[in-house]
Amino acid sequence: MLDYEISPSEAAALLKQGKARLVDVREPWEFATARVDNSLHMPMGEVPARAHQELDPDEHLVVLCHHGMRSMNVAVWLRNQGFEQAQSVRGGIHAWSAEVDPQVGRY
């Protein structure tokens, strides 16, 4: 079984290879402030209503928030719902900006 967390660089490599889908669970104002290209915006509060309609339980899901707390909660919830390959990006978009793409803004 996969760890519950994945580093930003590991996540970026999977995304580049087309082996994962990035789900951004931050609030709309946060997503408007800074985002990773090609991410699916699904605010944390909307995940229970949208997950089973928009996400594939067999897909590797990489969940992103600001610092990694909300995304961890969502990854755990998703796994409990049968999305066994859900992982949280350790350190969130802040760490992504520091490790993967400095063009992604920090706030």
| Residues catalogued as catalytic | 65
Q: Are 42 and 28 in contact (CB under 8 A)?
A: no
Task: Identify the CA nearest to 100 among candidates 2, 6, 9.
Answer: 9
Q: What is the pLDDT of residues 23-67, one digit of tens each?
A: 999 999 999 999 999 999 999 999 999 999 999 999 999 999 999
CATH T-level assignment (fold) for domain 5-53+63-99: Oxidized Rhodanese; domain 1 (3.40.250)
Residues with Cβ within 8 Å of residue 71, at least 6 apart in sequence: 25, 63, 64, 65, 88, 89, 92
Other C-beta atoms closer than 10 Å to the C-beta of 47 total: 21
Tell me the pTM.
Answer: 0.97
Which amino acid, 60?
Answer: H
pLDDT of residue 6: 98
